[in-house]
A and B are shown apart, each in its own frame.
Chain A
Amino acid sequence: MSAQTDAFPQPRPAPLSKDPVPLSKGSDTVHDAEPLRIVPVRRTGQWAAAVAVLVLLALALSSVIRNGAFQWDVVGDYFTTASVLRGLGLTLWLTALVMVLGFALGTLLAVLRLSTNRVLQVVSWGYVWLFRSTPILVQLLFWFNIGALYPQILGVRTVNLLGPVTVAVIGLTLHEAAYAAEVVRGGILSVERGQIEAAQSLGLGAWRRLRRIVLPQAMRSIVPPAGNMLIGTLKGTSIVSVIAVQDLLYSVQLVYHRTYQVIPLLLVATLWYVAVTSLLSIGQHCIERHYARGTAGAR
């Protein structure tokens, strides 16, 4: 650095006569002994837009705070009541369970799809096709009414065997797995062919190659969409309220059906969803950093 600044003010040879165009009009600026200051372009329009956006935001915020109909005091009253926290708890463990089971099944489906056996490929493809082609709401109602098709399973009445919560876990997991399969498959395909060949030429077995070489590298492309899916699943579990599973949303609905304070109780649920998804986003950032180790960006 210092060598450059030292060298700069030294007198330079006069410009070649072949190229007489001056670098700046008027004075011979580049040859001045003074260090030069860089003045960025003023983006007046951008700044005006930024100010306008801030004003609009402030107006919106003040209306939210001053509009009594939001009933922020009611929000505060119910935010940490036992029934809301129970609902939040169910939403959280249901999300975790569906995510873990869904990705376990999804990874299996992805491996089947990438196997060399035609039958396994087609079965895996068919599963993903079927469960992605129907709305989760329809699937959930279908599993809820499975007793109409099979009144008894293993000698037990289906209604007794499959309560609403079990139906919710099964329905959400099967749906999740179809999407997870594609995410995992995309991740595995993103790993260079040469990595697998190197592992093969070193004599590593198929399971070891998958676990030690392919999946850790695939995780770099799996984590961002998986984070998306996790947040989507957290919010998506609210759909189980239609089969009377007491998740976060259903818990506040039970309250407002009684008290008619619809908006403040929806705000209770909203704020909890925002809080949890924010935590999850931070977690995703940390996981991404872990799997980026060994790449140029993570030095």
Chain B
Amino acid sequence: MSSTTKDTTTDSPDVMVEIRAVHKSFGTLEVLRGIDLSVRAGEVTVVLGPSGSGKSTLLRTINHLEKVDHGWISFDGTLVGYRRDGNKLYELREREVLRQRTRIGFVFQNFNLFPHLTVLENIIEAPVSALRRPRKDAVAAAEKLLARVGLADKAGVYPKQLSGGQQQRVAIARALALEPKLLLFDEPTSALDPELVGEVLDVIKDLARGGTTMIVVTHEIGFAREVADTVVFMDEGRIVEQGAPADVLDRPDNPRTRAFLSKVL
């Protein structure tokens, strides 16, 4: 990364993710209408909002799965997906974008495990091929991660032989295998049967307590209350309210936040 990108960090040095004036449209539909958000290192940010409010799109712009139309996002002091030179933002080559992504873990709603690879192969794929780790080290690290998510005995199994909750725990272990500085969760429990939600949330809570910086898009209000340092409420492509969970969830200022919470609580 060239030194010209360093000047993008404006706030205090412990800001991990900075999102400024981000706009994004799909065709004529404007999904993000000017998002500003800062996430500090070691904090858990939970993004709430009705479906279609743009929360998943916002999350996907942070690791450049979606390109932004206006504005910029920086991660750990470096612009995501672009290089700044003067007043211009040059799109990065894919190889450079991929290198950035290895430092950001992403957990999908539908797990997206590779069905033709075993649990172990799923986890060591990125460390071995993207980070060029020796296979032996990657396997040892993967086994530790599997133990951490409570699936030490499932290394040789194919994903389809696991329950949804187990698959999502493997997906979390796969994201952790790159030792990312930031974890993004896109509705990690929305595709799960109700009785399996708890086991996945427990793993995420455990990570939160360990000080991992994470942004979690979810509908689990109880989880937000318990784990979040900051709760962000989005509606129609804008952040309408943000703050400590006690403030946003119990004493919301915005009528739209109140309306949403009254429906889900």
B192 to chain A, nearest CB (A): 16
User: How far apart are the CA atoms of A200 and B175 in the complex, in Å?
Assistant: 12
Q: Which of B79-125 contact A (CB under 8 A)?
A: 94-95, 98-99, 101-102, 104-106, 108, 110, 112-118, 125
Chain A at the B interface: SS class:
helix
**Chain A residues with CB under 8 A of B118:** 294
**Chain A residues with CB under 8 A of B131:** 203
Beta-carbon nearest neighbor of A193 in chain B: B112
A258 to chain B, nearest CB (A): 54
**Per-position binary interface string of chain A over residues 193-217, scored 1 when its CB falls under 8 Å from any chain B CB and 0 otherwise:** 0110111111111101000110011
**Chain B residues with CB under 8 A of A4:** none
Beta-carbon nearest neighbor of B174 in chain A: A202
Q: Which A residues form the contact surface with B (CB < 8 A)?
A: 192, 194-195, 197-206, 208, 212-213, 216-217, 291, 293-296, 299
B159 contacts chain A at the CB level, 8 A cutoff: yes
Are B125 and A294 interface neighbours, CB within 8 A?
no
Are B94 and A206 interface neighbours, CB within 8 A?
yes
A181 to chain B, nearest CB (A): 23
Are B112 and A203 interface neighbours, CB within 8 A?
no
Are A194 and B110 interface neighbours, CB within 8 A?
yes
From B101, B113, B114, A201 is in contact (CB under 8 Å) with B101
Leading 7 A-B pairs by shortest Cβ distance: A203-B102, A198-B112, A202-B126, A203-B130, A294-B158, A201-B106, A194-B112
**Chain A residues with CB under 8 A of B94:** 205-206
User: How far apart are the CA atoms of A294 and B161 in the complex, in Å?
Assistant: 8
From A199, A208, A294, B160 is in contact (CB under 8 Å) with A294
Beta-carbon nearest neighbor of B103 in chain A: A203
From A195, A206, A291, A295, B112 is in contact (CB under 8 Å) with A195
B224 contacts chain A at the CB level, 8 A cutoff: no
From B108, B114, B158, A213 is in contact (CB under 8 Å) with B114
Beta-carbon nearest neighbor of B60 in chain A: A197
**Chain A residues with CB under 8 A of B174:** 202
**A200, A201, A217, A293 interface centre (most CB from chain B within 10 Å):** A201
Beta-carbon nearest neighbor of A208 in chain B: B129
Given A294-B159, A299-B161, decide whether A197 and B112 contact each other with a Cβ distance below 8 A: yes
Are B129 and A217 interface neighbours, CB within 8 A?
no
User: How far apart are the CA atoms of A178 and B71 in the complex, in Å?
Assistant: 44
B63 contacts chain A at the CB level, 8 A cutoff: yes
